[in-house]
Homo-oligomer: A and B are copies of this chain.
Amino acid sequence: MIRIALDALGGDYAPDVVIDGAVRAVKASEGKFQIVLCGPQDVCAEKLKDLGYEGDAISIVDAPAPVAMDEHPVEVLRKKPNSGLVTCVALQKKGLVQASVSAGNSGAMMASCLMLLGRTSENFARPPIGCIIPTAKGQMVMVDAGANVDEKAVQLVDFAMAGSVFAECYLGIENPRVALLNMGEEEHKGPAVLQETYQLLKGSDKVNFIGNVEGREVLLGGTDVLVCSGYTGNVVLKMIEGFYILHNELFGKIDTPAGRRFDELWDYRNAGGALLLGLNGTGLIAHGISDAKAIEQACLAAYRFAANDTAKKIGEKLNGIKQA
């Protein structure tokens, strides 16, 4: 039985929507996984009672310390071992759960997973966040979605490798096309770090590098893996959310095949969180603004990642690539 640890106090609308999401997730799980809520025992128990949940697929581990969104990641790990976030990852480290999910402080989640679970490869210095984003043609992987800032070219090359393996393992795309998000197609365009990364990827046989793509091509499906700085990736991801919200405000739900497909692909609540790549284990970061549906989807995604051994496969591939 796969168990997923869920940070009950993580997210802008925690704990209510998180616990609601947990109940939805186990109902949708068809008995395939259980959830371990990590948060204040009394609050969690009370909320489960309010929701009328009486099953045994959700258990609670008392972890009362709250973590603010702007707390320093390493400080959280050091000073708040009894927070929901750190408790999730600590349980995973002990093998008591197979995945951790938090919609809270993403830097702290990253630091906790990195320090407690460890890297799959010592060479892979700064693990990025890989996320699935919608395009006109379906889905693609974007790396990094916001774990890092001010990356060097060699780190962006790591992101390219991790993203390529993620797209292969999780989306089932063979030999995925990998592109750099830039402000022009020509190789000398853009910030110096991207020009340097271009040269490193161009000479590499480790990924199927197709060159630079611009913002327009990204949305139209011009690549399978989009490589960018954590800062830029975060802007891209949030713009996609903003566009979906704006579209809904203007037009509401459009009940045509295209409308339903748009809704399925673009509703960020379906995305189910983003995976930390290059770690020994499954750590998922859900959006801070997650509602119950988003938390449910994040738990379902965590189950798929864990059941599919995605993190391990990515680690093996990355090590293979690194050593090759």
Q: Which positions in A face B, CB cutoff 8 Å?
A: 69-70, 136, 146, 149-150, 181-184, 186, 188, 190-192, 194, 214-220, 229-232, 234-243, 245-247, 249-251, 254, 256, 258-259, 261-262
* Docked complex Cα distance between A80 and B262 (Å): 48
Contact for A258 among B69, B229, B241, B250, CB less than 8 A: B250
Q: A70-B186, A251-B254, A262-B250 are in contact. Are A215 and B239 (CB under 8 A)?
A: yes
Number of copies: 2
Q: A215-B238, A245-B216 are in contact. Are A231 and B190 (CB under 8 A)?
A: yes
| B149, A231: Cβ atoms closer than 8 Å | no
Q: A183-B230, A239-B239 are in contact. Are A246 and B220 (CB under 8 A)?
A: yes
| A246, B190: Cβ atoms closer than 8 Å | no
* Docked complex Cα distance between A186 and B251 (Å): 32
A307 to chain B, nearest CB (A): 31
Q: What residues of B have a CB within 8 angstroms of the CB of A231 in the complex? A: 182-183, 190-191, 194, 232
Q: What residues of B have a CB within 8 angstroms of the CB of A70 in the complex? A: 184, 186, 188
* Docked complex Cα distance between A230 and B258 (Å): 34
Q: What residues of B have a CB within 8 angstroms of the CB of A234 in the complex? A: 183, 214-215
A292 to chain B, nearest CB (A): 20
* Docked complex Cα distance between A245 and B241 (Å): 17
* Docked complex Cα distance between A252 and B258 (Å): 10
26 contacts between A and B (CB under 8 A): A136-B246, A136-B249, A149-B191, A149-B192, A150-B192, A183-B230, A183-B231, A190-B231, A191-B229, A191-B231, A215-B236, A215-B237, A215-B239, A215-B242, A216-B238, A216-B245, A217-B242, A218-B239, A219-B239, A231-B232, A232-B232, A235-B235, A250-B258, A251-B251, A251-B254, A251-B256
* Docked complex Cα distance between A192 and B186 (Å): 27
A192 to chain B, nearest CB (A): 6
* Residues of A contacting B: mostly: helix
| A219, B235: Cβ atoms closer than 8 Å | no
A-B pairs, 4 with minimum CB distance: A215-B238, A219-B242, A183-B234, A215-B239
* Docked complex Cα distance between A214 and B146 (Å): 12
A171 to chain B, nearest CB (A): 19
* Docked complex Cα distance between A136 and B250 (Å): 8
| A259, B251: Cβ atoms closer than 8 Å | yes
Q: Which residue of B lies closest to A213 (CB)?
A: B238
| B215, A183: Cβ atoms closer than 8 Å | no
* Docked complex Cα distance between A247 and B220 (Å): 10
* Docked complex Cα distance between A259 and B247 (Å): 10
| B183, A146: Cβ atoms closer than 8 Å | yes
